[in-house]
Chains A and B, each alone.
Chain A
Amino acid sequence: MADGFRTEDRPAFRRPPSDVMRLARMGSAHPTRLSFLRILLRRVRDEGWRVDRPVWSVDDSGVGRAAYRVRTPERTYCLVAFAHDLPPDQRTDRVIATAWDATFALVDGEPGEADLDRLQANVPLQEAGRIGPRELCLSRANRSVRLFEHVVDRLAEGQQPDPSQIAEVGYLMRTTAVYGSGKFGAADRAVIADRPELSAPFQAEMLTVWLIRQFTVDIVEHLAAARGGDRAVRMDRELRRQLGVGNSTGLGMAPFLVRHPMLLDHWMQVREEALARVRAAENASEETVAGARAALDAARENAARWRSEHPIQVRKLADLRADLDRIAERFEAQDWTERYPWATLWDWGHGLTLEGEEALLSILLEPHGALIDGLAHCLSADEGTGFRIDGTVSVAETRAALERRYDWALSMDFDAAAAREKFWYVSEEKLEPRLGERSRDAGAERELPLGIAGLAVAFHAALTGAEDEMPLAAFLMAHPEHRYMARRLQVAARYPYSEVQDNLTDAGMLPIDLLRCKLAFFGASRFDPRSDRWVRISLFQDAPYPLDPPEAG
C-alpha cells in the first residue's frame, strides 16, 4: 500500500449509494481515466499493440472494402470495413435505417478472402444479416453531412478544412450501433471474457470504434485524392486529432444499466473506490498537482468546445462552465502542502452543481493513475453468480432485507398516477425498447420489468401478507410474479450500488440520464441530447490514431 494512504478511512470516503445512484447525478457523469476507452488506450500503449491496414480496396466513388489489423501480444484482431455509396435520402441514425455509409465487423483473428466475401454478404445488411463465432462486433456509421463533404472538398483543393467547422461538429462519421456479445450470431461474451485484453467491459466495442476512427479519416483522404489528384493533401495532424467518432444513441441503450445490476454495481463501486483512494491520500506530490491542473485545463477547454442546443444541456453546460471557473479559483487558493489536500478540495466541492461536482471527480482521478488504474480489473462481473435464488431464507428476513435495500422505493407513492405514467416496452416493429405514456398509449400490459421501484413496492406488500417463517421458496411457488424482484433483491443485498434509486416510470423521468451515465463509463464526451431520449456523443476525440506511430509515455 502506498505511503500516506489511510486504508482505514477509505470506506468513509466512499459516497453512499443513496447519493451516487440518483438519476440526476448519473445524468451528470463525466468520463474518467477508468472509462472503458481509456483502459483500452492504456493497454494499447503499454503493450505496444501494432496496427496496419493490409486491405484497402476502395474505388474513386468511395465504394469498396478495407481491413485494419491489430496485433496484440497474444492475438490478432481485424476490423473489416465496407464503404458504401448511400443516397442522402436513405441516411438516418435511427435504428429503423436499412442502409448506411459504412458498415463494419471486428474479426477475431485474420479473415481470409472467403471470410471477407462472407462478411461482405452479411455485414452491410446489419440486423438483417448474420455474422459468426469468429466475429466479435457488428457496427455501422453515417457521414456527418455538415463536415464530411467540407473536409473532402478542402483536402481535394489542397487546403485544410476550416478549424471552426471541425470544432463545431467534431467527427466525420457517427456510428449508430456497435453490437457485441453474441448479437446477430457473433461470439458470446464468454468466448473473450478471460482474455486479458478484452476482459474489461466493452473492450471489443471500444477497439471497433477506435479503428473506425482511422477509417473515417482514411476515407476522406481517399476521396479527396480521387477528386483532387495531385493537388489533394492529407489532413493536418492537429486538426485530425480533434476529430472523434460520433455516436448516436437512443432508448435501446437505456435499459442496459437496469438489466445488469451486478455490472452497474461494479462500475459504480470502482469509481467510488477510486475517489475514496484519492481522498485518502495524505499528501499531494508535485506531479499529481500538475496533473490535476492539466486535467482542469482540459476540462475547461472541453467545456468551452462542447456544443448543445437542447435546453436541458444548455443549462447544464452553463452550470459546468461556471463551476469549472470556481474550481480553477479554488485550485489557486489551495494549500497543496496541507495534509489530505484532495479530501479538502473534494469537501469544498459540495457547493458545486451536480455537473461541477462530477467534473471535479474526474479531474481528481486523472493524475492518480498509479493509485487507481488497477481497479480496471474489477469492472467485470460474472452475472451467473447472481442468478440462483436462495429460497431457504424466510419471508421475514426477505422483507427486512427489502426494507433495508429498497427504502428509497418503499417511500414512494405509487397511488399517484404520475409515478406510473411511463412504461417501457419493446416495439414489435424493430424489437427495440421504447417508452410509452400510460395515460395515452396502448400496450402497457406488455410492460418490461424496468420499473424496479414499483416492483419493490408490490413485492413488499405481498411479503407483508405472508407468514413470517415461511421460506422464500414456498412464497415464490405461490407468487411467481415476484420471482424477478426476489432475484434482484438478493443481488442488491450483496451489491449496494446495483440499483438506480429513482422511479423509472415517473412522468418526469429523463432517459438521457441513464444514457449519459453509461456513455460516460464508455469514455464518451460532448454529450449532446437531441431530445429527452436521444443523444449524440463523441468517442476518442483528442486520442491517438491506430496507424500513427506510438507516442512516448
Chain B
Amino acid sequence: MTDPTGQGVAPPSADVERLSLGEIEAICQKAARGAGLDWGLAEEAGFAARWLCARGIDGAAALLAVLEREDVGPAVLAEGVIRAQGLGVLSPVAVGTVLSDFAGLLPHRVTTGPVAQPVLVLPFLQGRREAASLAWDGGAVCVGADGALSGEVAALAAADLLHIEISASRLVGPEWSGTEPRIAACTLARLDALALRTTVPASDASRAGAGSAGDDND
C-alpha cells in the first residue's frame, strides 16, 4: 500500500504538524523535483523553505504555492532587470539563484517581477558581505549578513505576487522573531503528492532485489 504519511509526514487526522527542519527541507526538495525543477534548483527550493521555517515563516506553504502555479516562466537577465521569458511570472527560486550566483557581477540595484511568493527570495540574500534589502511598493525587508530579518516581514510573507527591488541598502525596522511554524496538514499532503512523482512504483522484482538474498529471520 502506498503510504506517503509513513515517512514522517503528518498523520491525516492532524490539522497541523511540527516537522523538523530536516524533514521540511527534504519534503520541499522532493516536491520541487516532482513539480519538474532540475535537481540543483530543487535543492535550492528545499534550502529556501527550510531557511524561512527556521525563522518562523511557513516556507513550505510558500513553496507549494509556487510549485502549483502554472504561469511560472524561465528567468532572463538584462541590464539589472530579471524578468520572465514571455508573459509568465517569476519563480522566487529562479530569482534567488540568479541573485546568489551573480552576486558581485550585478549592479547595485536589481529590479524584477512579478515574482510569485517573493518571501522565498529572502534566503538567497544572506551570505553577502553586507546586509541586503528587498523592497516593494509599500514595504521593505532587510536580511542581515548574519541572516537576521527586520522590516515588514509579515506583509512580505503574505504577498502572492510582487515587483521587487533588491539593493545593498540597510534598512532600520523592527527585528523579526518568529517561532518555528507548524505546517498545515493540507500543505503537507499536497507537497507529498508532488514528492511522490519522484518515486517509482514497486514491482515484485524491485521488492525482492532490495533485500537479503536468503532468509533474514535467523
Contacts and interface: CB of A to CB of B under 8 A. Distances in A.
Interface of A: 88, 91-94, 96, 127-128, 130, 132-133, 142, 144-146, 181-190, 248, 250-251, 387-392, 425-432, 434-436, 440-443, 446, 449, 471-474, 476-477, 480-487, 530-531, 533-534
A142 B212 CA distance: 15
B203 A431 contact: no
Contacts, number: 180
A428 B43 CA distance: 20
Nearest to A98: B6
A435 B209 contact: yes
Contacts of A486: 40
Contacts of B217: 88, 91-93, 142, 145
Interface size class on chain B is: 35 or more
A189 B40 contact: no
Given A392-B102, A480-B40, A530-B214, A426 B200 contact: yes
B169 interface: no
Instruction: Indicate the member of A127, A391, A435, A449 with the most B CB atoms within 10 Å.
Output: A391
Contacts of A487: 40, 43
A473 B102 contact: yes
Contacts of A426: 198-200
A477 B38 CA distance: 12
A182 B209 contact: no
Contacts of B3: 128
B22 A391 contact: no
Given A127-B7, A133-B20, A449-B39, A473 B101 contact: yes
Given A185-B19, A427-B202, A431-B4, 4 more contacts: A130-B11, A183-B23, A186-B20, A485-B40
A462 to B, nearest CB: 13
Contacts of A533: 209-210
B8 A184 contact: yes
Q: Which 7 pairs show the lowest CB-CB distances between chains A and B?
A: A483-B40, A182-B22, A391-B101, A443-B200, A182-B20, A473-B101, A484-B40
B211 A531 contact: yes
B206 A530 contact: no
A484 B39 contact: yes
B22 A473 contact: no
A183 B27 CA distance: 12
B210 A144 contact: no
Interface in B14-70: 17-23, 37-41, 43-44, 47
A93 B216 CA distance: 6
A293 B76 CA distance: 66
A476 B100 CA distance: 12
Contact of A250 (B20, B127, B199, B211): B211
A471 B105 contact: yes
B22 A188 contact: yes
A251 B207 CA distance: 12
Given A425-B199, A441-B206, A185 B213 contact: no
Nearest to B5: A128
B217 to A, nearest CB: 5
Given A181-B22, A435-B209, A481-B38, A429 B202 contact: yes
Given A145-B217, A429-B201, A534-B213, A389 B22 contact: no
Contacts of B75: 477
B216 A248 contact: yes
Given A434-B209, A484-B39, A446 B22 contact: no
